[in-house]
Structure 1
Amino acid sequence: MKPLEIPKRLDIVSGACRFAFFFIIVTQFSINWVSGDLIVRKIFGPEVPTGKYKHPSSFDELDNGDLYLAYYGGAGEYASGTVVYGARLNKGSSRWSQPKKIAGNPFRSLGNPVVWQGPDGLVWLFYVTRFGDTWSTSRIKFKISRDGAVSWSDSALLTIEPGTMVRAHPIVLQTGEYLLPIYHETGHDTELVGPETTSFFLRYNPSNKKWSSSKRIRSDHGNLQPAVAQVDDRHLIAYCRRGGGYEPTTEGYLIRSESRDGGHTWGKGTNSSFPNPNSAVDFIKLRSGRLLLVYNHNMNDRTPLTAALSSDNGKTFSHRMNIAAGQDSFAYPTIVQTEDGRIHVTFTSQERTQINHAIFDENDLLSKPDNKKSEPRESEELK
């Protein structure tokens, strides 16, 4: 199958003025759209033969400038035989490689891969293995690559507690240690996140190669899938997906928790000002020092997918724009700021059968104040 063609960046520049425009691009598989400097395009969809289900995506920029992406695929979320696939976008290329299986188990189903390159060049692949019918039976495993995600080690077990799972990238603390966000999911109802579900973090010391665990983030209705950013050497902020079910609510908010001791202990998770439809988010610190949150600005539906930027260490998020919106679900974002400073976000749509890739600049967000005139607007749907 011919790989997907990625359109070049499209700008109109005249003197000191840049003019926003809208341009439809038709490829063999999809309709992509460009609005101003925001580019959104499809990477993989149902036509790619790794199973209809492709969710959730995780990616990172490697040392050589390639982008490497992982997701789990199969017949559905709880299907038997789901495996983890990887694909690469070579630096300077406009074509993603065809996905290849990078983790599988003939007796178990896998899910939630996280791919990340550490400062020493090792590429880590974290994922979960489900031992029963629901995610609360899962445990975290990992592999490493010493050659830029070309080949992978055998898998190793990271956690033994049933229900431990991973979703977001690790971060490198100012101490040089790695902090991996994980969570403990409870209950066996696929339509309800139990109130005892908690988020926490595994800390890795690259000097002695030992892992340790933080205290847990507890909240009134449970929380999961934390994403974390370090404000300074002692202060960290985490945003977590809310617990509960999927019935309509007027009380669905992202859970926020803070650490004041470098991530060892965490305050109680409380409702933030951001709505959350029981769906994952991502949260990173940009090289400018600003904090970027990508989330669904809705309590009940996974649309729109919105980016919010803070210039005051997470006190306020005064700039906001839509990445995608419309009559679809745009969910499970992963954010990476690449070496050139641009911001990349991957997410899924079309009932978790399609992986999409958005690219924009920090200045695109800075130009959008968060007021009534800049409320998330509907953009063209990704077909």
Structure 2
Amino acid sequence: MGAGRPPVRRASKLVALACIAAVTIAAAVEAVRWSRAEHAAERPAVPGPAVPHAVTISEVSRTIIPMPAGVPSAHASALATLRGGNLLSFWWAGSRESGPDVKVYASRWSNGAWSNNWVVASRESLGAAIGYGVRRIGNPVAWTAPDGTVHLYVVATGLGGWAASRIVQLQSRDDGKTFAVRRVLPMSPLFNTSTLVRTSPVPLADGGWWLPVYFEIGNKYPMLMSFNANGEPRRIARIGTGTSSLQPAIVPVSSTEVRAWMRDAGEDQRVQQAVSRDGGNSWEDLEPSRLANQSTSLAALRLSSGVFLMLYNHVAAGGSDRSVLSLALSTDARSWRPLADIASGKPGDEFSYPTMHQVGDELHITYTHQRRAIAHHLLHISQAKDPL
């Protein structure tokens, strides 16, 4: 028996090497398929030329979105605009982050108020739909397609922590009342793990959209995945070459220039930046912004007037927490000036992970409030006649 074991072991090693080679070849073929996707028709949807005017933003109301009873922790809100101007808000809530009882909840904004919440996804529902166990679920991100379908992207893990996560795409054809799993996104041909979502998608001129994503295992870097108008993925691109930034907020400046701002996973505690000059096909890293940002997710938005807004956790001198959520304005997506503090508190308070949506002359902001709830601010946008 002993004499017969080495050949068996050698055969097993050969089989393993053959499997690795096959996976490597498949990965290379898949990478080529993604890289050869047709980029020419894929351009960000940018409003017509506009001269940025002086913007005044005034608060109309602030409230806490109705939370599930008896659930002590909530985080990572997302917004989607429905046809007709109503909104859906999504977030996760449970006993704690990564807790087995965490679920994704939703609420609807209509006639100036938020509805009671309902459950959209859980470990059990996702596991049953995709055919294997889900250990934990996390950040949701949503997008409404031109046909009214609401696409929801949810982070889900099997074994391991967030670095072993996958992104599950769900969809709803009844304005968010019910969702069905469509697929696990093919983010990587090798194991397809370690990708997450956090920030808002970006519309494309052909009715598709970009989904900002990021890789997080050891090195951290931002990416985007593009979808056609039917919600089918068509390509994936890395944003820059850095290895210490994540959670990209992507905003088109023109049909060719696109800016991305990222959370800093290093020691700088500043907003990281990248730019594309060919409509999102290729990206180059920029020097960090002068904006100091506590290591946390930020939000960025181009208003219909042409000005840019950014929400971030301002780091005061010696500060090291998320107790101040600041709004800044830019006319060129390069230099920023403080506009207002949306929320502030004492050291140890948390107002974080913001999301912004414009609907007409309304600006809707949601964010994590003390890790216990999701806050909503409704702001009115007005413009002076004199340009900035």
TM-score w.r.t. length of structure 2: 0.75
Counterpart CA distance in 2 for 1:184 and 1:70 is 22
- Distance change >3 Å, CA 154–CA 296, structure 1 → 2: same
Corresponding residue of 2:369: 349
Which structure is higher in RCO with an 8 Å CA cutoff and minimum separation 6? 2
Q: Which moved more, 1:207-216 or 1:160-169?
A: 207-216
Structure 1 residue 201 displacement after superposition: 0.3
Counterpart CA distance in 2 for 1:308 and 1:366 is 21
1:282 corresponds to 2:299: yes
Is contact 2:326-2:338 (8 Å) kept? no
Larger Rg, first or second structure (1 or 2): 2
Write the deviation string for residues 213-259 of structure 1: whole angstroms up to 9, x where unpaired: 1133332x611110111011110001110113xxxx6x310111101
Corresponding residue of 2:334: 315
- Distance change >3 Å, CA 99–CA 213, structure 1 → 2: same
- Specify the code of the residue in structure 1 equivalent to 2:305: S
Corresponding residue of 1:5: none
Q: Equivalent of 1:336, from 357, 360, 375?
A: 357
Is contact 1:320-1:365 (8 Å) kept? no
Corresponding residue of 2:130: none
Is contact 2:227-2:234 (8 Å) kept? yes
Corresponding residue of 1:379: none
Counterpart CA distance in 2 for 1:357 and 1:151 is 23
The gaps in structure 1 that reach 5 residues or longer are 1-34, 188-195, 370-383
- Distance change >3 Å, CA 168–CA 155, structure 1 → 2: same
- Distance change >3 Å, CA 321–CA 124, structure 1 → 2: same
Corresponding residue of 1:227: 249
- Specify the code of the residue in structure 1 equivalent to 2:149: L
Corresponding residue of 2:116: 98
- Distance change >3 Å, CA 36–CA 140, structure 1 → 2: closer
Counterpart CA distance in 1 for 2:237 and 2:222 is 10
Structure 1 residue 122 displacement after superposition: 1.3
Structure 1 residue 127 displacement after superposition: 0.7
Is contact 1:78-1:133 (8 Å) kept? no
Corresponding residue of 1:200: 223
Helix, strand or coil: the match of 1:78? coil
1:139 corresponds to 2:159: no
Is contact 1:241-1:254 (8 Å) kept? yes
Helix, strand or coil: the match of 1:272? coil
Write the deviation string for residues 291-313 of structure 1: whole angstroms up to 9, x where unpaired: 111111116221311111112x2
- Specify the code of the residue in structure 2 equivalent to 1:252: Q
Helix, strand or coil: the match of 2:61? strand
1:41 corresponds to 2:63: yes
- Distance change >3 Å, CA 66–CA 176, structure 1 → 2: closer
Equivalent residue pairs, number: 314
Is contact 2:143-2:152 (8 Å) kept? yes
Structure 1 residue 65 displacement after superposition: 2.6
Corresponding residue of 1:302: 322
Structure 1 residue 366 displacement after superposition: 11
Corresponding residue of 2:104: 84
Structure 1 residue 151 displacement after superposition: 2.0
Corresponding residue of 1:154: 181
- Specify the code of the residue in structure 2 equivalent to 1:100: W
Counterpart CA distance in 2 for 1:358 and 1:365 is 22
- Distance change >3 Å, CA 256–CA 38, structure 1 → 2: farther
TM-score w.r.t. length of structure 1: 0.76
- Distance change >3 Å, CA 93–CA 284, structure 1 → 2: closer
Helix, strand or coil: the match of 2:163? helix
Structure 1 residue 38 displacement after superposition: 5.2
Structure 1 residue 269 displacement after superposition: 5.0
Corresponding residue of 1:373: none
Helix, strand or coil: the match of 1:136? helix
Is contact 2:138-2:156 (8 Å) kept? yes
Write the deviation string for residues 15-72 of structure 1: whole angstroms up to 9, x where unpaired: xxxxxxxxxxxxxxxxxxxx96353222245xx3262111111112211332211111
Write the deviation string for residues 110-147 of structure 1: whole angstroms up to 9, x where unpaired: 11001221222111111110123421010001111112
Corresponding residue of 2:36: none
1:212 corresponds to 2:235: yes
Corresponding residue of 1:240: 262
Structure 1 residue 93 displacement after superposition: 4.5
Is contact 2:98-2:138 (8 Å) kept? no
The gaps in structure 2 that reach 5 residues or longer are 1-56, 125-132
- Distance change >3 Å, CA 175–CA 134, structure 1 → 2: same
In angstroms, what is the RMSD of aligned CA positions?
2.5
Counterpart CA distance in 2 for 1:152 and 1:87 is 14
1:358 corresponds to 2:385: no
Corresponding residue of 1:120: 147
Is contact 1:57-1:355 (8 Å) kept? yes
